[in-house]
Structure 1
Amino acid sequence: MFFYIAFIASASLGTLIATSQLIGALTNPARASQVPEILKGLGIDIGAVSLFAFLYLRDNKAKNAQEARLSREEFLSNLKLRVTEKKIIPVNSLRGIARLVICAGPASFITESFKRSEPFTESLLDRGVLVVPLVTDGNSPVLEYEEAETETETDEAKQLATRRKRLWQLAPVIISEWSEWLDEQKKLAGVSSESPVYLSLRLDGRVRGSGIGYPPWNAFVAQLPPVKGMWTGLLDGFDGRV
């Protein structure tokens, strides 16, 4: 960007000089033959100013957008989550440990997202996914965990219920701050403030992807590498484009 400014200054100076030469040639019949050559040089200088000004503005816009994104992600990293009744942690405490999926919408949306995640519970947990349900209408979602129907199913049902509770154990704290961050994300994405959305984070805490509607649990399972065994640490951060 420094060189863009230098090129703009140089071309602007050339434009000023060529303009003064053109005025002199137009007012002096003896120099009329120089007009085409002066116009050619003037056109090149104006083109250079326009080109480098465009490149500067484009890169400056990209820089500002990146700074704004980093600022929003820093804000997100400091938001609080309730893990247990007595334990509250900031989002950044889970960097390198969990891939958060934020489900934001009315209670009915959270309830349906919960139901749709059930077939993928084991696979999601193996990939370090934890869900943050952010209710936007003030109601309470219905998160029902399966109970055992027979004695032989008791252990299996309990284990599944435990895994389901672990997947959905996180709860946002200080909802107003979460809502402020979410509204800014929606505004920048051109999404209606009333639309239910999801946002998935990478292991490094950066936003991996987002969309309107229910989280694509099956896509997460297909795209994300496990966080256990030989994959641990090897693919940290390789969760897709930001």
Structure 2
Amino acid sequence: MAFAFGSLTLHSNTFYLTITTPTPISLNLFRTNNVMFCGRNSLSSSHQRCSIPTIVCSSSNKPSPSSQISSTAKIRSEVLSPFRSVRMFFYIAFIASAGLGGLIATTQLIGALANSSRASEIPDTLKNLGIDLGAVSLFAFLYFQENKSKNAQVARLSREENLSNLKLRVDEKRIIPVSSFRGIARLVICAGPASYVTESFKLSEPLTESLLDRGVLVVPFVTDGNSPTLEFEESEELKQLGARRKRLWQLAPVFISEWSEWINQQKKMAGVSSESPVYLSLRLDGRVRGSGVGYPPWNALVAQLPPVKGMWTGLLDGFDGRV
């Protein structure tokens, strides 16, 4: 006959369930989402003695890290807009001051209305009350607009931070995050069916040298599960061009589900259909430079981006958002 003893402990946002059984069992440790299961079973070498196994289950309702705004995004927001907090502080101070003035004007108006001998004060009191109410409305509007802009900027920076944590395969031995390309390359992400990636590959062929001179590297992300046709020249005459083409298209996404989730979030926020092929181009500092539906504008990239080497190195980096 088998029996078990269990206990349930509730602590803050996490509960723990402990089950004890007198019979030896073998358990493995595994984790799924925010739930962890673990077990213990030990045997001595000289005696087949079993310790009573214990199963501990824990679960937490805390949000996953991907849904939280990272501290890095908040710091970058403060760096990009250093005086926003000061403005918001003064807006609150002006709202409080005008609100206090409006309260005083309201009490004066009530007193003037109740006393006919003070009827001459009513026009001035109404004027002061109107000014105070107008000031409260104005600074409240400015505060909420500033706060809305702040939240939008932090959300955008957080999405870019999540993008920087996604992994790319450079070759058979190296897998690195997108953030490793900051200051080195301008990534262009092509996300769509295999036919879309193949056509983007063909359209970029005449501009291979110019794109590489500007530090552009392409990340093809196929959404329909098929393999795109990327043909590289292997003949002796065009071998060098084929090598350059391979370098331009050498990157491959790793952990496809994470890439798919991030791209689908961007489409949803932009109001784009999940089936539409899209492209995203990144600056040298990793921020999103541009995006759109359809094929990447290779000609525009060549025309607008400065070379990463030569006499223009560093001079036009500001136009690309490099800080």
TM-score with structure 2 setting the length: 0.70
Q: Does 1:30 align with 2:117?
A: yes
Which residue of 1 is the match for residue 70 of structure 2?
none
CA contact (8 A) 1:204 1:237 kept: no
| Displacement of 1:182 | 1.4
Find the counterpart in structure 2 of residue 180 from structure 1: 261
Unaligned runs of 5+ in 2: 1-87
Could you report, residue by residue, the CA deviation over 1:29-76 in whole angstroms, capped at 9, with x for unpaired residues?
Answer: 222221111111111000000000011001111111111111111111
2:278 counterpart residue number: 197
Q: TM-score scaled to structure 1, two decimals?
A: 0.92
Match of 1:167 among 234, 244, 248: 248
Instruction: Describe how 1:137-176 pairs up with structure 2 within 5 A.
Output: 137-148=224-235, 154-155=236-237, 157-176=238-257
What's 2:76 paired with?
A: none
Identical-residue share of aligned pairs (%): 82
Alignment partner, residue 184 of structure 2: 97
Which residue identity lines up with residue 161 of structure 1 in the other structure?
G
Name whichever of 83-92 and 176-185 sits farther off: 176-185
C-alpha spacing 1:171/1:180, structure 2 compared with 1 (3 Å): same
CA distance in 1 between partners of 2:122 and 2:271 (Å): 51
From the CA coordinates, give the structure whose radius of gyration is larger.
Answer: 2
**Higher helix residue share:** 1
Partner of 2:91: 4
TM-aligned CA deviation for residue 147 of structure 1:
5.0
How many residue pairs are counted as aligned between the two chains?
A: 236
Q: Distance in 2 between matches of 1:195 and 1:15?
A: 54
Distance 1:19 1:190 in 2: 47
Deviation sequence 1:1-45 (CA, Å, 0-9, x none): 111000000111111111121122222222222111111111100
For the aligned residue pairs, the C-alpha RMSD in angstroms reads: 1.7
SS in 1 for 2:176: strand
- In structure 2, the residue matched to 1:215 is 296
More deviation in 226-235 or 67-76?
A: 226-235
Instruction: Say if 1:185 and 1:140 are closer, same or farther in 2 by CA, change over 3 A.
Output: same
Are the counterparts in 2 of residues 204 and 236 from structure 1 also a CA contact under 8 Å? Answer: no
- For structure 1, the 5+ residue unaligned runs are 149-153
Higher relative contact order (CA 8 A, sep 6+): 1
Residue 43 of structure 1 corresponds to which residue in structure 2? 130
Structure 2 residue 103 is the aligned partner of structure 1 residue 16: yes
Distance 1:20 1:37 in 2: 13
Residue 71 (1) aligns with residue 185 (2): no
